[in-house]
A and B are shown apart, each in its own frame.
Chain A
Amino acid sequence: MTRSRAVPSIALAAILITCVTDIVSAWSAPFGAPHSAAGMSASGLTGWIFAEQAAFYRSLSGFIRAAKEDGAAIWELFGISFIYGVFHAVGPGHGKAVISSYLVANEETWRRGLVLSFVSAAIQSVVAIIVVAIAAVLLGATAKAIGLTVHLVEIASYALVILIGLRLLYVKGRGFLIACRELTWHQVPDLAFASPPAAGSLSAATFQLSERRPGAMAVRGGQCQFDGCTAHAHGFQCHHDHEHHESAWGHAHGPEPAALAGTGGWRRGLAAVVAVGLRPCSGAIIVLIFALAQDLFWTGVGATLIMGLGTAVTVAAIATVAVSARDLASRVAKSRAGLGMLAMRAIEAGAAALIVAFGILLLAGYMASEQLWMFTR
């Protein structure tokens, strides 16, 4: 392996290791080192970013007040909101890790990574606005009730992240196993296609199809097996959910990534960004309610949307880097048939496993990065 090829592989390995260390440290923190020590280790660039975002956040209230007196101050407020969004998203949360892992696992293009980042940030802002509009403006709910609502939405969001991760892990795990098998039976590739155990194929069909028409599809899966379709993996594709099966099975044949980025992929991607974006940013909720208390709800809405735009810029930048690293690794993998393909499948399955791990840690509260219900629960 030449140096230029080693670099992206090392990069990806490093990314995965960093993510895993994050998880491990998040996991061990409640039992081992006190949080304060890890938290206070912020120094240098990290410390600077955290100090800046805190300073920007605290200046928001002043700008919102100023906007009340002087209409022109609203532009300053929007400017600060944007910068705050950019800095804020560098910290934990905001789905950077989940989205990046998702993009790596799912062979998404960087363009799609950009769009998904922006959509998830937009959803995040809109959810915050909807929560405050309904709970505070319409119902006059207390902070306690709003905090509870946000907490429930959060739990739903994390549960969805886990589900999406599990689904990806299932698909990518199979891809990895098949790549393993192909590598073993490289001399007789035909055998590889005939080999997946019938039971496994059947459950695969049932699992993926149940999304649409559970009953009918399960039967179809059964028929398929009897029809002897399992003899060739492609047989599945003629029946249903074309695009999906390509990503589930097609990997075994190493198709062009472009072929995978089909139109149906948007739906999959959307599920991921909805799961991530569902959780509103606590800061946005507080800013909205503060603006509401100043009778400037719409100013708060504008600031929240612009904050989301800033968040999207950061998330998109990180997603783009993740996708580029993946693409480079993939280019290397292509030049090394067999092992290279296996490595790519392993990376994808690993990234899918990371999504599950992130989801579980978020759900368990070990990776929480902000809390809204402090003092008001």
Chain B
Amino acid sequence: MIKRTCCSCVILLLLLSVNRAEAHPHVWVTFHSEVLYAADGTMTGVRHAWTFDDMFSAYALQGISHAKKGQYTREELASLAQTNVDSLKEYGYFTYARADGKKLKFSEPVDYWLEYRNAALTLHFTLPLKAAVSAKTMQIEIYDPSIFVDFEFAKDKPVSLSGASQCLLTYDLPHQPTAAEQARLSQLDAVPLDASSSYGETFANRILVKCQ
């Protein structure tokens, strides 16, 4: 009986321990991002193209009137694009930028539209920085801290650079936590991070621009 009890306890604890702050993503986004630089060498913003998975695309398109079955024009999708960028504001557009470690602020998106191709919606939008900034190292991360949305670099040419020939562009895929990181994660409950910590971003999709 002890064995059975122990067994059931272990199973129960295992299942309950899953009940952490985990989320079920129901939206998958593959993205291309272009980092925008002005002629004077300052960074001005980011231009995104986010492609949603086919199921979420179908969901978002529900009830959108269109003339031709299976086809949507940019005009027909204009109101949905507006809704998209409006609702993204609450989440800071899932875009986090730092210039030499200092956090940058974005203003409202401009030049946004939706495109429907191959049964998937792509949201195009440009996020201008509140103030253009020049820095040796520019770091831009795209992720959803709550993981309701799963972000993934597009397979071909995920990032590009516009107007900064003297700079070098690289990107890091999110990685599996290393042993040290795993250990730090397990202590988060006991030793919480302070507000300025950027630890959680370790696992974000990261774009790096290094300039001379």
Contacts and interface: CB of A to CB of B under 8 A. Distances in A.
Interface of A: 3-4, 7-8, 10-11, 14-15, 18-19, 21-22, 25-26, 28-29, 32-43, 45-46, 49-50, 53-54, 57-58, 60-61, 88, 90-93, 96-97, 136, 140-146, 282-283, 285-287, 289-290, 292-294, 317-318, 321-322, 324-325, 328, 368-377
A35 B147 contact: yes
B67 interface: no
Nearest to A38: B21
Contact of A7 (B5, B16, B150, B189): B5
Given A19-B16, A374-B149, A290 B59 contact: yes
22 contacts: A4-B1, A7-B5, A14-B13, A15-B9, A15-B16, A21-B189, A46-B17, A46-B18, A54-B25, A57-B26, A91-B24, A96-B15, A143-B60, A143-B61, A286-B55, A286-B56, A289-B59, A292-B62, A317-B15, A321-B12, A325-B8, A325-B12
B169 interface: no
B148 to A, nearest CB: 5
Given A11-B5, A91-B18, A91-B22, A36 B27 contact: no
B58 A290 contact: yes
Given A318-B15, A325-B5, 15 more contacts: A3-B2, A15-B9, A18-B19, A33-B189, A39-B23, A90-B15, A90-B18, A91-B18, A142-B63, A287-B55, A321-B9, A321-B11, A371-B23, A371-B26, A376-B60
Given A18-B17, A143-B62, A34 B8 contact: no
Contact of B53 (A22, A61, A140, A369): A61
A91 B147 CA distance: 13
Interface of B: 1-2, 5-6, 8-9, 11-28, 52-56, 58-64, 80, 83-84, 86-88, 91, 123, 143, 145-150, 176-177, 182, 185-186, 188-189, 192-193, 197, 199-201, 203-204
Contacts of A49: 18
Given A14-B13, A33-B188, A321-B11, A376 B21 contact: no
B192 A28 contact: yes
B199 A37 contact: yes
Contacts of B193: 32-34, 37
Which of B21, B52, B148 has the most chain A CB within a 10 Å cutoff?
A: B21
A101 B123 CA distance: 43
Given A40-B185, A293-B61, A370 B15 contact: no
A215 B123 CA distance: 58
B9 A7 contact: yes
* 3 closest A-B pairs by CB: A36-B200, A142-B63, A34-B200
A43 B193 CA distance: 20
The A interface is mostly helix, strand or loop, or mixed, namely helix
A60 B16 contact: no
B147 A14 contact: no
A46 B21 CA distance: 12
Contacts of B6: 7
Which of A96, A144, A322 has the most chain B CB within a 10 Å cutoff?
A: A144
Given A33-B193, A36-B145, A376-B84, A50 B5 contact: no
B59 A8 contact: no
B178 to A, nearest CB: 11
A283 B203 CA distance: 25
Contacts of B9: 7, 10-11, 14-15, 321, 325
Nearest to A60: B55
Contact of B22 (A4, A34, A92, A293): A92
Contacts of A144: 83
Which of A35, A292, A324, A373 has the most chain B CB within a 10 Å cutoff?
A: A35
B12 A11 contact: yes
A58 B53 contact: yes
A25 B16 contact: no
Contact of A375 (B8, B23, B58, B60): B60
Nearest to B121: A375
B177 A41 contact: yes
Contacts of B188: 33, 37-38, 41
A317 B185 CA distance: 29
Contacts of B62: 136, 141-143, 146, 289, 292-293
